[in-house]
Amino acid sequence: MSSMPSTLPQSTYNTLIQRSIDLLQLYRHAASSCEPGLKMVLDENAQTLGAMIADLQTQLRSSGGTPRRKGTVRGAFRRYLAGSLTRVSSHRDVAWIRELSDGESSLLHAFETVVAQLPPESALALQRQLPRLNNIHLDMDNLAGTAL
């Protein structure tokens, strides 16, 4: 843990990792019940999130930390609730798009907040993830805009 003070604190990294895992699992859950075209987009976004999570876990491991490998209870509850609400929605795909767009926006904001609070050298690893998150966020915003 000697290299941790100059980088991101382990608990902050793990919080971001867990929130990312929660969103990844929400994407997978949504993809399992959407039409094929939307499923393809959601699967691609899930793959991007999975790669980002793996990068963050590797970064934490290389600085002596122990990365989280599972999401949160809150994320599991949100997945259950979103699944229940979309099942009764007359426009299931639209409901999933809105839910995922909200989740993506929240995760992007969490990353941006942490990056803004860190010294530049500590924020570098997270800044590298922002283009991935921005691309997913733009995908979901575009889908949400066309679904209205």
Poorest-pLDDT segment among 58-62, 97-101, 140-144:
140-144
Q: How many domains are contained in the chain?
A: 1
Cβ contacts of 81-85, under 8 Å, gap ≥ 24: 82/26, 82/29, 82/30, 83/29, 83/33
Q: What is the mean pLDDT of the chain?
A: 88
Q: For residue 121, give its domain range.
A: 9-147
Q: Report pLDDT for 3.
A: 40
Say which CATH number the domain at 52 has.
1.20.1260.10
- CA-to-CA dists, residue 19 to 6, 26, 71, 86, 130, angstroms: 23, 11, 7, 21, 15
Task: Tell me how long the chain is.
Answer: 148
Please, are residues 42 and 78 in contact by the beta-carbon 8 Å criterion?
no
d(CA 126, CA 110) in angstroms, rounded, equals 11
**Per-residue pLDDT, 54:** 96
Q: Please check whether residue 1 lies inside any domain of the structure.
A: no
Task: Assess if residue 3 is contained within a domain.
Answer: no
Sign, CA torsion 23/135/52/121: negative
> Is 2 inside a domain boundary?
no
CA distance 23 to 49: 8
pLDDT band at 88; cut points 50, 70, 90: confident
The pTM (predicted TM-score) of the whole model is 0.89
Sign of CA dihedral 45, 47, 48, 49: positive
Tokens of 82: 């979103």
Please answer whether residues 60 and 17 qualify as being in contact, where contact means their C-beta atoms are separated by less than 8 angstroms: yes
| pLDDT exceeds 70 at position 121 | yes
Q: pLDDT digits over 22-74, tens only?
A: 999 999 999 998 999 999 999 999 999 999 999 999 989 988 899 999 999 99
116 in any annotated domain: yes
- The answer to whether position 142 is within a domain reads yes
Average pLDDT rounded to a whole number, residues 68-93? 91
Structure tokens at 22: 């929660």
